[in-house]
Amino acid sequence: MSIDPDKLEKIPRHVALIMDGNGRWAQERGLSRLEGHKEGAQSVRAVLRAAARAGVEFITVYAFSTENWKRPPQEIDGLMKLLIGSLNAYEQELHDNKIRLRVMGQFERLPLPVRLRLQKTIDATADYTNHTFIIALSYGSRTEIADAAKQIAKKVKAGELNPAKIDEQTITDHLYLPDVPDPELMIRTSGELRLSNFLLWQLSYSEFYITDTFWPDFREEQFYEALEAFNHRDRRYGGVKKK
Ligand code: IPE
Ligand code: IPE
Ligand code: MG
């Protein structure tokens, strides 16, 4: 039975997704890993559409981790080309749904054509406020936190910041996207029970939804199932259950 997102009581403002299982999806079908990534790009599109329809404001997808640079050069190259191709093919949908594109990660480490292509769409969608689509690219949470520590230390050294005043908000303010609220829901596909260096700080109190479905098979319906599961969660934040 399909789920009607309009009937859900709680809609998270921000959903983060670890898109995993493209390789296994392809392997099961005797296809190349890149074919899996290509099919996975269609799932990104489907999730963006479903999120816009359900009223989710922010979607963050983990597309490439700092650790993914260890993959074979052909796969990395294929992923980068796929990113450019997807932006060319789907930019219009971002405009149609007034979705702002942002990226988080080591931007300068990406190949120049990728940076230029991303920047074009980032600039072209910068004024949209309905929805935000964040791609984590060459992203690693530990690097993000270490970079924040570096910036904070510089401010302390320059006398701009009192070390006694450093609190949780100070750390948040020095992360890549300080103005984005923490995700209420984190989805990981393909059954792996780990964070793989994704948003360690931001996911401190998020609900986790892990599904065995491989990312290329995760579409609108599966996204709504995750939202539905979120509706049954009892979030206590260390307090006691409300009656
Ligand atoms: C996720 O799928 C995509 C990226 C990490 C870029 P994988 O490529 O990790 O697929 P599996 O885990 O090998 O199946
Ligand atoms: C996590 O998937 C990174 C992305 C989805 C971009 P991986 O496939 O790289 O993670 P591990 O290696 O299984 O932890
Ligand atoms: Mg994987």
pLDDT tens by residue, 106-134: 999 999 999 999 999 999 999 999 999 99
Mean pLDDT of 25-40: 98
Burial 136-164 (b: 16+ CB within 10 A, else e): bbbbbbebbeeebeeebeeeeeeeebeee
Beta carbon of 16 within 6 Å of any ligand 2 atom: no
**Domain ranges (residues) in the chain:** 12-141+182-231
Going by pLDDT thresholds of 50, 70 and 90, the confidence category of residue 241 is confident
**Cα 63 to ligand 1 centre (Å):** 9
In this structure, which amino acid lies at residue 239? G
| pLDDT on residue 1 | 61
**Which ligand 2 atom lies nearest to the CA of residue 23?**
8
Mean pLDDT of 153-162: 98
Least confident stretch, 63-67, 72-76, 109-113, 237-241: 237-241
**Cα 65 to ligand 2 centre (Å):** 7
Mean pLDDT of 44-68: 98
Q: Burial, 194: exposed, middle or buried (Cβ in 10 Å; 0-12, 13-18, 19+)?
A: exposed
Structure tokens at 98: 């007034």
Per CATH, which fold does 12-141+182-231 belong to? Undecaprenyl pyrophosphate synthetase (3.40.1180)
**H helix intervals, the chain:** 22-28, 33-54, 73-96, 112-124, 141-157, 168-173, 220-231
With 80 as the cut, is the pLDDT of residue 28 above it? yes
Q: What average pLDDT does the structure give for the chain?
A: 97
Percent pLDDT > 90 in the chain is 96
CA atoms within a 13 Å half-sphere pointing along the CA-CB vector of 24: 12
**Which ligand 2 atom lies nearest to the CA of residue 62?**
6
Going by pLDDT thresholds of 50, 70 and 90, the confidence category of residue 235 is confident
Which of 150, 196, 204, 212 lies closest to 175, judged by CA? 150
With 80 as the cut, is the pLDDT of residue 27 above it? yes
Residues in the chain: 243
pLDDT digits (tens, 9 = 90+) for 160-219: 999 999 999 999 999 999 999 999 999 999 999 999 999 999 999 999 999 999 999 999
Give catalytic status of residue 231 as yes or no. Answer: no
Cβ neighbors of 67 (< 8 A, separation 6 or more) are 140, 196, 197
